[in-house]
Amino acid sequence: MLAILAGRLIDGNGGTPLPDAVILVDGERIAQVGPAAQVAVPPDVEVFDATGKTVLPGLIDAHVHIHSQGGPVRGGGYAVNQVTVSQATHAIRGAAYGLLALQAGFTTLRSVSSPGYVDVALRDAINEGVVPGPRLKVSGQGLTISGGHMDKTAWPLEVTVAGRTGVGDGPWELRRAARMQIKYGVDLIKINAAVSRYSLDYRYVEPYHQEMTYEEMAAICEEAHWAGRRVAAHAHGGQGITDAVRAGLDSVEHGVWLTEAQCELMAERSTFYVPTLAVHTRGWELGEATGMTPASRNWLAQVIDARWVSLERARKAGVKIATGTDAGFWMCHGENAQELAELVHGGFTPMEAIVAATRTGAECLDMSREIGTIEVGKYADLVVVDGDPLADIRVLQAGKRIVQVFKSGHKVK
């Protein structure tokens, strides 16, 4: 048994922090939690002294790409890496990237598309204890239409790249593609519903374009839900978001241009929102290092302002908002806590940002029975911080301020 003495306990439910708390861990799970005056520490147990420090639940990033490093464009960029980096290499690198996030306090990640099911293999290796890493929820290959967001023309006709994404056209082809993901062991299905126009021609007025039809998305959602899987959609704006939510979508990813009506529909349907604010900030900071064209830079300039309007609309409508960074794209793994600072910049209180990264994140991943809050019976996924994130949320971004991370009651750092 392990006893953690917390100077300040933030349990993830959004209530007032509890001073001088004790958490008793029996094996992998929390056995007892409460004020030090009420929770007796048994003799001869291991004691972790976090008096003077803050203890909060393990943090959750609901949108990463575990196989990819992120940051500035390297080695010819994403398209070139598709044919020059093997899936085996992606898997090995993914193990390292996951460990970076775990040591930064993110005990659970949701990886939304990786080539060749490398995320499935990594999840299984972590669960089997072969390699250390965070809890992973994985989607395998993302689903897209021919020529869609994840099937861009990058190579001559005679060059093919196998296993990168699931491509289908029409309800039955995409239903089969969803079945293939489920066959190979994914936890959720990732689709591309309403995508950006920056990488395609600019004949469209709007900075987004609907990719899948309502009928295609409804077929995918029905198939996924039959199998007990959720569906997440890359979706920037427009009718594609409305159709996706009506079709049964479980979470909107990015959602830069949400309307008030869409937010009300999402709240009514209990559709989660993962705004991925940090990745756009980082892309703007990186500038030319992202490899963006003038058209894509113009698109990002529109995103920088529009995302705050959507965030406020979603919050006002009562949409459940979870944190996600898109780490593996412009964001690097281990930088995940920047998303909480972005939420605070967008009007959240520090406590609301923490809830988005704990309780709401767990609900989004359908894991609220196991993680997300510090409660009896749940896994002892905990972060010990030297400082008060309610006074300055940025302390979660400082690696040295993350004193210790526990996953299932075991020390990570």
| 251 assigned to some structural domain | yes
Residues 40 and 66 in one domain: no
| 348 assigned to some structural domain | no
Range with the poorest average pLDDT among 185-194, 199-208, 345-354? 199-208
Percentage of the chain with pLDDT > 90?
A: 82
Number of domains in the chain: 2
Q: Is the pLDDT of residue 156 over 80?
A: no
Residues 193 and 295 in one domain: yes
Check which CATH number belongs to the domain holding 43 and give it: 2.30.40.10
At 264-318, the pLDDT tens digits run 999 999 999 999 999 999 999 998 888 888 888 888 999 999 999 999 999 999 9
| 346 assigned to some structural domain | no
The candidate with the shortest Cα–Cα distance to 303, out of 387, 400, 195, is: 195
Task: Residue 28: give the domain boundaries.
Answer: 2-57+372-411
At 99-111, the pLDDT tens digits run 999 999 999 999 9
Last residue of a domain, one of 308, 336, 364: 336
| 104 assigned to some structural domain | yes
Residues 164 and 270 in one domain: yes
At 321-341, the pLDDT tens digits run 999 999 999 999 999 999 999
| 201 assigned to some structural domain | yes
End-to-end CA distance of the chain: 19
Residues 213 and 74 in one domain: yes
The structure's pTM equals 0.96
Q: Is the pLDDT of residue 114 over 80?
A: yes
3 state SS for 248-277: CCCEEEEEEECCHHHHHHHHHHCCEEECCH
User: Under a CB-based contact definition with an 8 Å cutoff, are residues 143 and 174 in contact?
Assistant: yes
Residues 331 and 388 in one domain: no
Residues 130 and 225 in one domain: yes
pLDDT at 79: 65
Please, what is the average pLDDT of the chain? 93
The candidate with the shortest Cα–Cα distance to 108, out of 71, 132, 134, 144, is: 134
| 358 assigned to some structural domain | no
Percentage of the chain with pLDDT > 70?
A: 95
Residues 312 and 190 in one domain: yes
153 band by pLDDT with thresholds 50, 70 and 90: low
Residues 100 and 211 in one domain: yes
Rounded to 5°, the CA angle 78-84-85 comes to 80
Rounded to 5°, the CA angle 118-124-126 comes to 100
Check which CATH number belongs to the domain holding 302 and give it: 3.20.20.140
pLDDT at 365: 98
At 27-37, the pLDDT tens digits run 999 999 999 99
Residues 41 and 149 in one domain: no
Last residue of a domain, one of 312, 336, 360: 336
Residues 192 and 325 in one domain: yes
pLDDT at 197: 62
Residues 225 and 299 in one domain: yes
Q: What is the mean pLDDT of residues 220-242?
A: 97
22 band by pLDDT with thresholds 50, 70 and 90: very high
Residues 133 and 52 in one domain: no
